[in-house]
Structure 1
């Protein structure tokens, strides 16, 4: 595989997870897109803001490039977790637009530099790394966050899957799912009781 094919392959996998993240917002109210759904405040729009910022850091800034995108919530002096939620002043369009601008900058950088080009990740102790390694890192990171987004969206309205209209789940009615969840719960309780002895 030549370097251009390798970059295309890696960007294809990264783009799939980017698209999966964005569709998790489709059809949601402003409140549901932003509201905290875990005890640590995890929310859909915040995940996208975080991933956009981190990806831009790794795939543009770590190679000494400037795509003209400001991420003040990533600065050392920013409050903890400032990248994990959208303020009332930041619209959904702002955050989605940030993500799209970041990935345009990132894609241009990695295509121009190629898989073997080296950059530095300051938060890894100035370690020299290749475009290839950071693309693989971002594929893993983005898919991890897409999995979080899957669970959050399912909690909101039951929507699941990698893409709209592709749930990646067996096609059954609510009664079947209720029975299935009951069976899983019974197995969990049974194992807990058996292992407590």
Structure 2
């Protein structure tokens, strides 16, 4: 495979996850995209805001690629979790548009630089701050896929909407009775394993 083939392969999986994350917001109220759905406050819109910072940080700042996008402030005294939620004055449209702009900027870096280009992660300790574009891209892809999984679970918990993509949900059945039967079977398996029977 050529370097461009490797880049295309990585970018395809990254783009799939990006689009899945944005799709998970469709049809939800402002309240539902923002509300904390776990004990640590994880929320759908916050995942996009976080990943905007991830893409700009690892795929732009690390390689000296300029951008004008505002990033959360992590100086002393700032909210240490500021990248994980949208402030009241940050609209859904603003967060989504900023995320899409981050994609374009990150993709431009990936297109312009060889995968073995070395960069420096500004917020890492100096002794391990040097990484390649390949490392940064894999790290970004991994983080994005991880958070796409979080979004899947959060969305299913909100309104039962599930699936990989709008045009391909990757589910074996759409019959609620089938899913109820599966859940019952899994409950039985769990109880049996839990009792050692």
TM-score in terms of structure 2 length: 0.93
- Equivalent residues of 1:65, 1:109 under 8 A apart: yes
Deviations 1:102-133 (A, max 9, x none): 11111111211121111011333232111111
Q: How does 1:17-166 map to 2 (within 5 A)?
A: 17-71=17-71, 73-77=72-76, 78-126=78-126, 127-166=129-168
Superposition deviation, residue 74 in structure 1: 4.3
Which 5+ residue runs of structure 1 have no aligned equivalent? none
What SS does structure 2 have at the residue aligned with 1:119?
strand
- Equivalent residues of 2:74, 2:80 under 8 A apart: no
What SS does structure 1 have at the residue aligned with 2:189?
helix
Distance in structure 2 (CA, Å) of the matches to 1:160 and 1:74: 34
Distance in structure 2 (CA, Å) of the matches to 1:87 and 1:8: 35
Report the equivalent of 1:182: 184
Q: CA RMSD in A?
A: 1.5
Report the equivalent of 1:171: 173
Superposition deviation, residue 23 in structure 1: 0.5
Superposition deviation, residue 6 in structure 1: 2.1
Deviations 1:40-61 (A, max 9, x none): 1111000110011111100000
Which 5+ residue runs of structure 2 have no aligned equivalent? none
Choose 156-165 or 95-104, whichever is displaced more: 156-165
| Cα distance change on mapping 1:27 and 1:41 into 2, 3 Å | same
Distance in structure 1 (CA, Å) of the matches to 2:2 and 2:183: 47
Distance in structure 2 (CA, Å) of the matches to 1:80 and 1:123: 14
Distance in structure 2 (CA, Å) of the matches to 1:65 and 1:172: 45
Deviations 1:123-173 (A, max 9, x none): 332321111111111111100000000000111111112211422211142
TM-score in terms of structure 1 length: 0.93
What SS does structure 2 have at the residue aligned with 1:101?
helix
What is the number of residues matched between the two proteins?
Answer: 194
Distance in structure 2 (CA, Å) of the matches to 1:82 and 1:176: 41
